[in-house]
Amino acid sequence: MEETIQLFSPPFDVQPGSQCLEFRYKLRLADLVVSVMNSTDKKTVLTIAYDGQEFVWHRAWVDVNNTELGQAKLGFRTLVKPLAGNKVALDDIRLLAGNCKKQGRWLFD
């Protein structure tokens, strides 16, 4: 039986235009889904599938295009099987002004 594990950011003020979500992650036997949620919508912006990579830190960047101003939250979700050795770790989560490519950042390192 799988369990859904979710982590949500505190609410933040949405800036007009594009923002770059940058974070570090480790996955072991689990996929990671990243979403942006506001009062009316939930949009998946990135899915990282576990592909056998070692349980070491990786960095990811993804553009978050904001069409509705106001408050929003970031959501990180994974499905795990208890006792299967699943592991997920997140760190250094930042939302930067402007799109990722303009900042010289790419999807993964």
pLDDT tens digits for 53-63?
677 888 888 88
pTM reported for the whole predicted model: 0.78
Top mean pLDDT of 24-28, 55-59, 92-96, 97-101 is at: 92-96
Q: Is residue 107 part of a domain?
A: no
Give the residue numbers spanning the domain of 50.
3-97
108 falls within a domain: no
Task: Supply the mean pLDDT for the chain.
Answer: 79
Which is more confident, 9 or 45? 9
Q: What's the confidence (pLDDT) of residue 109?
A: 47
Total number of domains constituting the chain: 1
DSSP the chain: --EEEEEEPPPEEEPSEEEEEEEEEEEES--EEEEEEESS-EEEEEEE---S--SS-EEEEEEEEE-S-EEEEEEEEEEE-TTTT-EEEEEEEEEEES-TGGGT--SB-
| CATH number of the domain encompassing residue 72 | 2.60.120.200
Does residue 103 sit within a domain? no
What pLDDT score was predicted for residue 46?
79
